[in-house]
Structure 1
Amino acid sequence: MASSNEDEEIINVEEGETKTSKGSGFCGSSSVVQIIQKVIAEIIGTYLIIFAGCCSVVLNNLDGRVTFPGICLVWGLIVMIMVYTVGHISGGHFNPAVTVAFAIFRHFPWKQVPLYIIAQVVGSILASGSLYMLFEVNDKSYFGTLPSGSNVQSLMMEIITSFLLMFVVSAVATDNRAIGELAGIAVGMTITVDVFIAGPISGASMNPARSIGPAIVMHKYQSIWVYIAGPFIGTILGGLAYSLIRFTDKPLRELTKSHSLFKSSSTHSN
């Protein structure tokens, strides 16, 4: 037993979190370290996704060798790769709309939402800046997202494709009946399909960070609201739709009580 005058570190473990009473600073808590690791994983994951996906867009715009199907595959494959690489660390969101939807449906703590969104936007800005320095990017080779038709048409495509994305993510990431090992493949293939059908119309963002990064670097804010509102609306609706068909052993009278899903989600404390 240590003497009373020794300055030693005393570690108390409570509810899975390590707390130090002496000799440790703010970063001494394991929970803080884990959050920092998650934020770093989201920055790196988002950076690599935006860099690879947008790089394929730039190269195709410059000489056409990548082709549109190639762009679709690059987006799907890089998302799949990053889900398997850092998904076990941060959850593999890489998307502010997905993060908010997870929080609304109580699959993610609200207190971490701002950190994740900042990390995702920073990752996108860094990736966009890297591409801007590597290539002579102009209006022709711009790698951001712009509507090819009306804003309403692009908004609807962003809502629908984001709905599909979140519907699939909710199934493979939050339902223990799904085969979790196939989550990366399912999400990656969903991205590929979404880019195929929405790419020629809206650019298939499905991710506010994906559109905000290039817009900031290139100072192109045309119709940026479409790529912020659309993904948030779509992912929330997608998460809600899957929640309605999720397995439950509760009787119907309990599911139809007056309190709403959003009300119960807002009062849940993480």
Structure 2
Amino acid sequence: MIGTYFIMFSGCGVVVVNVLYGGTVTFPGICLTWGLIVMVMIYSIGHISGAHFNPAVTISFAVFRRFPWSQVPSYICAQLAGSLLASLTLKIMFKITPEAYFGTIPTDSYARALVAEIIISFLLMFVISSDATDNRAIGELAGIAVGMTIVLNVFVAGPISGASMNPARSLEPAIVMGKYKGIWVYMVGPIIGIMA
């Protein structure tokens, strides 16, 4: 819950700050923030929770017998709770204008956004599986590899879909702000991509 909270607070927070304060962060800054906060959380609490900040990743690990199914509900509840608390924090801290919405909405067609989410989620899980779960990889570098993958994914897919890769990243801001346009893309795309 704490890991997902800080990922959402920093990643979504930088989106809000960039809009409300005249674009001072810039798009590359937003991309770097998402990657850096995931990297920081992996190194800070990955040894406690296995760096599960994403329901789609948790489900994928369970499907492929890398994580016990009995713990999946509690992990997903914690992830959703962390995302919800961060979204509420941002709503309380800032006067969120429609332009500063910190959730994800397809800016192109739903089909393009869905394909983007599938591809970037697949890439994310490919790197997680390669670096974080394969004992032949250099485990100490997993946080850097995963964080940089997120930076690259946000650069490529951010303008199309918002580069969610995480159902909790999209669902809770939608609930808090009451904006559900295209929300199904962010429930379906990451799960398909991560399971592929």
TM-score (norm 1): 0.72
Separation of aligned partners in 1, 2:43 and 2:37: 10
1:97 partner letter = A
Partner residue, 1:227: 186
2:14 maps to 1:47: no
2:90 partner letter = L
2:125 maps to 1:154: no
Structure with a larger share of its residues in helix: 2
Of 26, 34, 42, 1:75 maps to: 34
- Greater relative contact order, per chain length (Cα 8 Å cut-off, separation 6+): 2
Of 161, 173, 192, 2:151 maps to: 192
Per-residue CA deviations over 1:143-163 (Å, capped at 9, x if unaligned) read 000000111100000000000
Of 71, 86, 90, 1:112 maps to: 71
2:35 partner letter = G
Partner residue, 1:61: 19
TM-score (norm 2): 0.99
Matches within 5 A, 1:3-152: 43-62=1-20, 63-152=22-111
Cα deviation, residue 84, structure 1 = 0.3
Cα deviation, residue 174, structure 1 = 1.2
Per-residue CA deviations over 1:195-221 (Å, capped at 9, x if unaligned) read 000000000000000001100100111
Separation of aligned partners in 1, 2:148 and 2:99: 28
Separation of aligned partners in 1, 2:94 and 2:133: 40
Separation of aligned partners in 1, 2:16 and 2:62: 34
Aligned-partner SS, 1:200: helix
RMSD between aligned residues: 0.5
1:49 partner letter = I
Per-residue CA deviations over 1:58-80 (Å, capped at 9, x if unaligned) read 01112100000000000000000
1:151 partner letter = Y
Separation of aligned partners in 2, 1:216 and 1:116: 20
Q: Which has the larger radius of gyration?
A: 1
Give unpaired runs (5+ residues) of structure 1.
1-42, 238-270
Separation of aligned partners in 2, 1:140 and 1:168: 33
Aligned-partner SS, 2:74: helix
Per-residue CA deviations over 1:102-140 (Å, capped at 9, x if unaligned) read 001110000100111110011001000000000000211
Cα deviation, residue 81, structure 1 = 0.2
Give unpaired runs (5+ residues) of structure 2.
none
Aligned-partner SS, 1:235: helix
Instruction: Give the 4+ runs in structure 1 shifted more than 6 A.
Output: none
